[in-house]
Structure 1
Amino acid sequence: MPKTTRAALAASTLLLAGCFSPSSDLPKGELAYRTMPAASDKIGAQEYRIGVLDTLSIRVFQESELTFDELSVNSAGTINFPFIGEMTAIGKTPIELSREIEAGLGSRYIRDPQVVVGVVSSAAQRVTVDGEVEQPGVYEIAGTSSLLESVARARGITSVGVDDEVIIFRMINGERHGAIFDLKAIREGRADDPEVLGGDRIVVGYSALRGTWQSFLRAAPLFNAFTRF
């Protein structure tokens, strides 16, 4: 058998063995955007909600002893505030927490208190980008991001990554959900860029087809050395 024919047969075998099988149990297309909509489909940006290990600033007008430049939310999601005691902070917006502190102080200690809560640093505003990207890792975002931006933070997809089936995992109402997005279509402007929130995990899959083909190409010089007549 000629050397070129043997090489072609070997390549065909490798490609057939390495076909990529997409995740069929996760929503894609319109169904994916119903689960995780694009920013343009939403009415304004989602309000930030305080998470565990966030660092807050709390200022009470004209009350220096009740003003803190940094106050950490503990792992249970609570803070301890003077005169009030333990308060649940997790899941509340800074404005909601401000109003609760005002109510707690105003009921017994201070007349018409004015409280401003800010977020100094957020442990919850991080996105994990995993799989076939150049630099997998955990990346901080300011408020919200998008799928395209998040993958760019990880220096893009590798040569064996699947750019038309990128998965976003998210906790929604205590349950883990996943949806598949076509990053190639997003880049080309044929699909919306879904919003990415703190706590999301992005996974770029491995294309066995591309990986096997690249392995074959790398092995080709060695393969030729053993097939010479």
Structure 2
Amino acid sequence: MNKIWSWIMLGALCALLSACASSSKHANQGVDLPPPDTTTASGAYEGGSDYRVGAQDLLEISVFGVQDLNRQARVNSNGQITLPLLGAVMAGGRTIPELEAELAKRYAEGFLQNPQVTIFVKEYTSQRVTLEGALKKPGIYPLTGKTTLLQAIAMAEGMAEMADLQGVILFRQVDGERKGAAFDIAAVRRGEMMDPQIYGDDIIVVEHSGSRSAFREFLRTVPAWALFLTL
């Protein structure tokens, strides 16, 4: 009887340890990565009020109840968009709420009564991400939509043959300081590690396997689960 009870207790202990391990593993999936400084134009637009429109951004503009005024408009190199009834409108440098208010004001001046204007940034091509290191095509690429780390690497046609899957570093300007986080791409692909969103002005560096660079020393100091550290 005592032997049977011992086996039951052992089984329960194993199950408890397994559950704890599983909980710890999944707890690391939700690491909070701070977005870049919102006082500048950096960063992909997610509906926040601080993003400022830039050249080549594609805006989707809707005027409630007036289907003929709904359209997409690309911001030109001078920061302007062209809209029916209004002609050229300066959009560059304005936040989305500011531009919505300006369009509503101008439509109300002789065209519409209490117009409700909604703007969505469909492509924010004024934002760029830099990819360096062991990639097939390193370079500077535009962000034309919500982009994750894996998607950004794919823009550079993936990693080179000698890339270190555990040696991927993401650098970002946060609260006036340059910060960095290390990622294990193999773990990201398996879903064991978060695939963070990439913002404008981010820098992604992929280490070569076996290299002894300064980045390698940084990797030794970074926690295993991609917490941003000040550099």
- TM-score of the superposition, structure 1-length normalised? 0.53
Alignment match, 2:136:
134
Q: Contact between 1:129 and 1:154, CA under 8 Å: does it hold in 2?
A: yes
Q: What are the within-5 Å matches in structure 2 for residues 76-225 of structure 1?
A: 89-90=92-93, 92-93=95-96, 97-106=99-108, 108-110=109-111, 111-119=113-121, 121-173=123-175, 175-209=177-211
Q: Deviations over 1:157-186 (max 9, x none)?
A: 223322212111223355543222221222
Q: Deviations over 1:202-229 (max 9, x none)?
A: 111233459xxxxxxxxxxxxxxxxxxx
Q: 1:88 to 1:59 in 2, by over 3 A?
A: same
Once superposed, what is the RMSD of the aligned Cα atoms?
4.2
Deviates more, 1:47-56 or 1:126-135: 47-56
Moved over 4 A (4+): 57-64, 66-69, 77-89, 118-121
Q: d(CA) in 2 for partners of 1:78 and 1:178?
A: 35
Unmatched segments (≥5 aa) in structure 1? 1-29, 38-44, 211-229
Identical aligned residues as a percent:
31
Radius of gyration: which is bigger?
1
1:46 is matched by which residue type in structure 2? E
Q: Deviations over 1:94-118 (max 9, x none)?
A: x652233213553x54432343445
Q: Contact between 2:75 and 2:91, CA under 8 Å: does it hold in 1?
A: no
Q: CA deviation at 1:152?
A: 2.7
Q: 1:71 to 1:147 in 2, by over 3 A?
A: closer
The answer to which structure, 1 or 2, has the higher relative contact order (CA under 8 A, 6+ apart) is: 1
Unmatched segments (≥5 aa) in structure 2? 1-27, 36-44, 213-231
Alignment match, 2:75:
72
1:190 is matched by which residue type in structure 2? E
Q: d(CA) in 1 for partners of 2:147 and 2:74?
A: 26
1:134 is matched by which residue type in structure 2? K
* Number of equivalences: 169
